Structure 1
Amino acid sequence: MTTRRNFMALAGSAGLSAGFGQTAWSQSTIDGWPSRAVRVISPTATGGPGQNFRLYADNLKNTFGQSFVLENMPGASGSIGCMTVARSEADGHTLLLASNSHIVLAPLVISGSPVNVKRDFDPIALMFTFPFLLVVNPDLGVKTLDEFVAYAKARPGQLNWGSPGVGTGGHLVTELLLKKTGIKGQHVPYPGTTQQLLAAAAGTLQFTFDTPGNSKGLRDSGKVLALAVTGDKRSNTAPEVPTFKELGYDGFDDLRVANGLLAPKGTSPKLIQAFNAEIVKMNSSGAVHDTLVGASYEPGVMSPQDYGAMIDRELEQWGAIVRETGVQIKS
């Protein structure tokens, strides 16, 4: 079983080993790209699932001959990082590594959001997906989801819950839980998933949604307790945790976080296709694939066109959840 500590060790070895034996685009450029280091901007704080890009970076350098540098740029529910990329030259040297929280959910929730994924970006590749995991501080004394719901309903408005920002997946999936159970609590947004998870372990938050992989270390040490997971199956890194569906709570089966790579609108399709081919190759088999799966991520193997179609479906799906929960934030 992959732990948080040895996951980072595996990540380093995966990044090195993935580069061997690559020949398809080896040390070549695509219409002159890349001619310098490529900035890959993640619109969230350091830590959390976005750091998995480092698994791919060494292999991409070996393939295309330039460094791919991950840069965290949090703020304004992801819009600062997203718009930095959107306003960049469409030459492939500034790319966006974003979750559906940043490119789908936040623009649906925040009125006046400057981000428009269809207008601003061309999809490159789906990197990976993963479910939401509901965790609580163990001092609550609850052991099951039903016990937690009863505990929270007996203390309306007294419990704090967190998210990695207004309009993110963690925000909306919690609002959906509140709507379906009648729980009332206080929302405390954080700049990233790691920060909110640590707050739950410290007792600043009483409950929050995180990911199976990111929370494993704190779960194993008893600092947080997992009660339920979204999706249609249990997580392989938390097989003891039932799905919401198993526990009789509908509406959580298709909810997941999706991290993908996007380029400014108008980027060369030839460049996008070459980049996509490398991501799909790494995600299909080998060290990167195995490391992701071992940490409860599902690697993406979609074409750019299929990833774009997935974004369209998520706009519809999460739009329905926004309407159901009534969440709307004025910018």
Structure 2
Amino acid sequence: MEGEEYSLYVHVPFCTRKCDYCHFYVVPDKESFHALYLESLKREWELRAPLLHGKKLVSLYFGGGTPSLLSPEELGTILSWIDPPSKTEITLEANPENLTREKLKAFRNLSCNRLSIGVQSFVPSSLQVLSRTHSASRAKQAIYDAAEPGFDNISIDLMYDLPGQSLANWKESLEIAATLPITHLSLYNLTFEPHTLFYKKRTALQKTLPSEESSLEMLELAVEAFSKPPWNRYEISAFAKGGMISNHNIGYWTGRPFLGLGPSAFSYWEGRRFRNTPNLNRYAKALREGEDPTDFTETLPPVEQAKELLAVGLRLLNGVQKHTLSTDLNEILSLLVGEEWVESTDDTYRLTPQGLLFHDTVAELIFRQ
């Protein structure tokens, strides 16, 4: 379709150290890896570029890993290949400990217009549990430093459900966040993902987790604090100030096609989901030999695609437009409305207050039918 909108995700795998809870593919921050990565990424871009003919890029997201470990020159090189239109939302993920004022100014001059900083907590004990290498004061300073060269769209991540985390600790992080020059807040509750140190230690760690009641109260505290003007809760775990929503994430929740570049990157394109191999050397070898670096692909049947779009679309507080939904979902929707997980308006389906608290249960019901 001529002019169809799409998003681009670029996985930058470098990290100074891997956090104990992290399940993403990362490699050490070595100069030799940077060179191999850039050489291979350019090959993949040239391989994928024909797919994009006649389509419109609306969001570009550099995730990781730690994209802020790229030098401004390296980031500039990647942007020169992609050549995004002037109004594209360009997000760079960053960690507080490697954000210098000089780098921030250079990134902003490269047309990066959105920064997503992995703060996770402003409480020292929680940062220690998460094995983060930045301090609470460094996180705050990084945000102020980012605002200085003109980053007027700054998002931060905060995590809850952490071992040993109290309601008072969580409230402290929320109160500090509210005083900072940020425009977006994303919340993540801790999960124990396979192949992480936290997963190996999960039996011991689970004994120190907040109770289910405390976990719900943590979410409710955040909702209460960040749902008042100028803030708005627009997605289950995301809040925007002054309308500064994440266009890239909206794409995920509404089924916008996206292409992922880099080792381990996922794509969703023309009804097909595929993933690049999560290994830099294998990724580089495949591309050097003129081969596609994907190691996983699936095409969902139409009814499964429809279920998936409903499940993720309901994450948005505005809900899902009825005219976009397949009639195959009528029985599921009747069940969800009948059990008061979802409410029906003239033109949308959206989660009830109960559904917002238990979206995982709603999603499970959708896929079970």
The two structures share one fold, judged by TM-score above 0.5: no
The structure showing larger relative contact order (alpha-carbon pairs under 8 Å, at least 6 residues apart) is: 1
- TM-score, reference length from structure 2: 0.28
Kindly name which structure, 1 or 2, has the bigger radius of gyration based on alpha carbons.
Answer: 2
- TM-score, reference length from structure 1: 0.30
